[in-house]
Amino acid sequence: MKGNFKKHFLFYCAMKLLESLEKIKFKKIVLLHGEGFGAWCWYKTIAQLEEVGLQPTALDLTGSGIDLTDTNTVTTLAEYSKPLIKYLENLPVDEKVILVGHSSGGACLSYALEHFPEKISKAIFLCATMVSNGRRPFDVFAEELGSAERFMKESQFLIYGNGKDKPPTGFMFEKQLMKGLYFNQSPTKDVALAMVSMRSTPLGPIMEELSLTPEKYGTGRRFYIQTLEDRALSPDVQEKLVRENPPEGVFKIKGSDHCPFFSKPQSLHKILIEIVQIL
């Protein structure tokens, strides 16, 4: 009897959620990956959002995922964000989307908020680089990687696509380090997928100082999701980002590493749905 009641209750809750989401005006959600990742990393999130009637789209940023652009040629945030900009430019006039940006994908989110505020209904920063005006996305990772200047001189992870006598063009962490930094709570199958799918990250976009204005970026509705077992972007650093650049709402995922779409997909899904429903 108890089992039947539970089934009926869960079915009722699911139907209520579907009804509630049916009334949502803007159902399109654009998912932006972080450094080294691609659209592929959102496979669980996409399936869950589609199941409740939302319309997720995961984009490959320039030189990422299956985009064939040579990473070494991507030198600016504008270039890196091109697939997102193209998507927003092609939206119908009265259409808006919800953007979700992971890790350094937060810089693309901020860039889009500054250039297309009228196209974005909400911007969700997922353990992401939500930096203030005049700051570089890379600065957020200084606790783990050292200052940008030091990283550019000393790091063993740098890629010199134009030759050793020229400035570095990208970086790629060694696999064992990546496992410890990004995937300390993720299932082994997802880690294996990441190990064969991740690509180098263009350096220029994350070393660029963001130009953000109160009139454009400042009018956007921003939300931040913190990951509490994160070793790549520590909870303390995430807390600092939220303090320095306060969003409309802050959510926390317990037990999540830097990749909640792998380690805590259900918790991430619930929070995304909650934010979608905020009027």
pLDDT of 270 reads 98
E-strand ranges in 83-195 read 97-102, 120-126, 158-159, 170-171
Q: Are 181 and 259 in contact (CB under 8 A)?
A: no
pLDDT of 261 reads 99
Q: Given pLDDT bands bounded at 50, 70 and 90, which one contains residue 260?
A: very high
Q: Given pLDDT bands bounded at 50, 70 and 90, which one contains residue 25?
A: confident
Beta strands 170-171 and 201-202 are: antiparallel
Cα–Cα distance, 8 to 78 (Å, whole number): 50
Q: Is residue 258 annotated as part of the catalytic site, yes or no?
A: yes
Cα–Cα distance, 241 to 69 (Å, whole number): 31
Q: Spot the catalytic one: 258, 263, 267, 269.
A: 258
DSSP assigned state of 209: P
Closest CA to 140 of 203, 258, 232: 232
Least confident of 44-58, 97-111, 142-156, 180-194: 142-156
In order of start, what are the domains of the chain with their CATH numbers?
27-277 (3.40.50.1820)
Q: Is residue 139 annotated as part of the catalytic site, yes or no?
A: no
Q: Spot the catalytic one: 60, 190, 230, 257.
A: 230
Q: Is residue 67 annotated as part of the catalytic site, yes or no?
A: no
pTM over 0.85: yes
CA distances, 73 to each of 62, 77, 128, 198, 201 (Å): 10, 12, 24, 18, 11
Q: Given pLDDT bands bounded at 50, 70 and 90, which one contains residue 113?
A: very high
Mean of all residue pLDDT scores within the chain: 91
Q: Are 249 and 123 in contact (CB under 8 A)?
A: no
For residue 181, count other CB atoms closer than 10 A to its CB: 18
- Tell me, rounded to whole angstroms, the distance of Cα 81 from its chain centroid: 13
Closest CA to 211 of 120, 114, 142, 124: 114
pLDDT of 220 reads 97
Q: Spot the catalytic one: 103, 104, 234, 263.
A: 103
